[in-house]
Amino acid sequence: MAVSDRSPIVTTRFERGDAHTLEGYLATGGYAGLRKALAMTPDEVIEQVKAANLQGRGGAGFPAGAKWSFLPKDVFPRYFVVNGDESEPGTCKDRPLMERDPHQLIEGLLISCYAVRASQAFIYVRGEMALAQERLAIALNGAYAAGYIGKDILGSGWSLDVILHWGAGAYIVGEETALIESLEGQRGMPRLKPPYFPAAKGLYMQPTVVNNVETLSYIPWVMQHGGEAYAAIGTEKATGLRLFALSGHVRRPGVYEVEMGTTTFRDLVEAPVYGGGMRHGNKLKAFVPGGASAPWFYPEQLDLPLDSSVVGPAGSMLGSGAVVIMDETTCAVRAAWRLVRFFAHESCGKCTPCREGASWIEKILRRIEKGNGREEDLDLLLDVGDNISPGPFPRPAVDGEEAVPFPYKQTTICPLGPSTVSPVHSSILRFRDEYRIHIKEGGCPYG
């Protein structure tokens, strides 16, 4: 087992008790990256981030530097928004970054705003994350008082205001256009892309960058050590380190900062420094490789590396970095139902297929799990899913069938609709017999 011994980057201060304070942050080299950036031109900063090939950590995995370059030239004001609305089931890696090292995020944000000449910055924090909100608020006030934010930052002549905004508890607001709607005071519902690509028509219809908390937290290190140093970590297509939230039936669930590309799912599950193996020594049944929206993988996919360029063609995604492990004691139907129930509950209600379809699927799954399933329900589930996400649906290569690469197609505005289909499709694909048993025996064999 070749687990990398790379020292961590964004979690280095996690074990310090005072990393969330300005003193603690400064004592560990804080804001040096900002000073370095302010000595450069904004374009030079962008070059460093591009050289780092720092892939976005929100789910889509788009390189941050490239994302910034989509901003139309000379259109101002332009805004920078931090997406801290982490709510994907299984994902809990942005939360410790905000709670334990808020200044790292703020410094990354400041450098990024300087680079893209943003007029104003917003940090949108999930409504339920009270500690993160509190610590960010204190950190922002401290940074203002110390001259890192506000007018004439560190005597550079450059000024920026950062606004902290709390969400109201909607999963969909993690989707960037819905987040922008919410930030504008509207109901959080996604906008259609095109035409509402944030880089062109974002917050208040102005050019806007939306970056994930984790993405920005890597920026101070990139500034201090240079983009190439970061790009040298991992493999060519999967650069750097990344946080993975490992949960489910492993011995050591937790958030781990892992080297990309060289680490595999098996490493993550079995390495003593990570998952430490399956719970009770049980057998792996299936796992979600990248958040609840992702099509499931099975034991055959364990040796795939943590590399989007491999996982995508293999039929799923790394998504938000949540790996959920299900062992042999898991009821596939109940697992699918549980996941679908979340999406049905969180559907914003904007587009018909997701609003109506998700709750329909949820009702069918519940009926099957409760023992009132019908033989025809399986085809019905797949066809209702097909009306939300027209097939073929992404899937790994199993049982002699070829993989269908990610991403999914959709009749909806945003991917929440297809996310509902993932667990249905994944569970029926491999565990159709379990469904049949539910239907035939009129209930769940797992009790």
The contact set with another protein (CB under 8 A) reads 170, 172, 187, 189, 192, 194-195, 344-353, 355-360, 363-364, 367, 380, 384, 386-388, 390, 409-413
Give how far Cα 299 sits from Cα of 158, 262, 271, Å.
Answer: 53, 19, 16
- The nearer residue to another protein, 236 or 383, going by C-beta atoms, is 383
Q: CB of 172: closest distance to another protein in angstroms?
A: 8
Q: CB of 346: closest distance to another protein in angstroms?
A: 7
Q: CB of 363: closest distance to another protein in angstroms?
A: 4
Cα distance between residue 130 and residue 136, in whole Å: 10
- The nearer residue to another protein, 115 or 358, going by C-beta atoms, is 358
Q: CB of 347: closest distance to another protein in angstroms?
A: 4
Q: CB of 350: closest distance to another protein in angstroms?
A: 5
- Residue linked to tokens 């300005």: 22
- The nearer residue to another protein, 160 or 336, going by C-beta atoms, is 336
- The nearer residue to another protein, 16 or 367, going by C-beta atoms, is 367
Residue 170 contacts residue 348 (beta carbons within 8 Å): yes
All residues at 6 or more sequence positions from 208 whose CB lies less than 8 Å from its CB, including other chains: 78, 79, 80, 81, 180, 198, 199, 202
DSSP code of 3? -
Q: CB of 68: closest distance to another protein in angstroms?
A: 24
- The nearer residue to another protein, 210 or 348, going by C-beta atoms, is 348
What would the DSSP string read from start to end of 409-445? --SSSSTHHHHHHHHHHHHHHHHHHHHHHHHHHTS-T
- The nearer residue to another protein, 109 or 172, going by C-beta atoms, is 172
* Residue 364 CB neighbour total at 10 angstroms: 21
- The nearer residue to another protein, 155 or 195, going by C-beta atoms, is 195
- The nearer residue to another protein, 38 or 172, going by C-beta atoms, is 172
Residue 104 contacts residue 217 (beta carbons within 8 Å): yes
Q: CB of 428: closest distance to another protein in angstroms?
A: 17
All residues at 6 or more sequence positions from 317 whose CB lies less than 8 Å from its CB, including other chains: 59, 61, 289, 290, 291, 293, 294, 295, 308, 311, 406, 407
Phi/psi of residue 207, nearest 5 degrees: -60, 135
Q: Measuring CA to CA, which residue among 416, 386, 384, 417 is closest to residue 404?
A: 386
Helix 416-441 to helix 352-369 angle (10° resolution) is 20
Give how far Cα 261 sits from Cα of 2, 267, 373, 394, 414, Å.
Answer: 12, 11, 42, 22, 28
Q: CB of 355: closest distance to another protein in angstroms?
A: 6
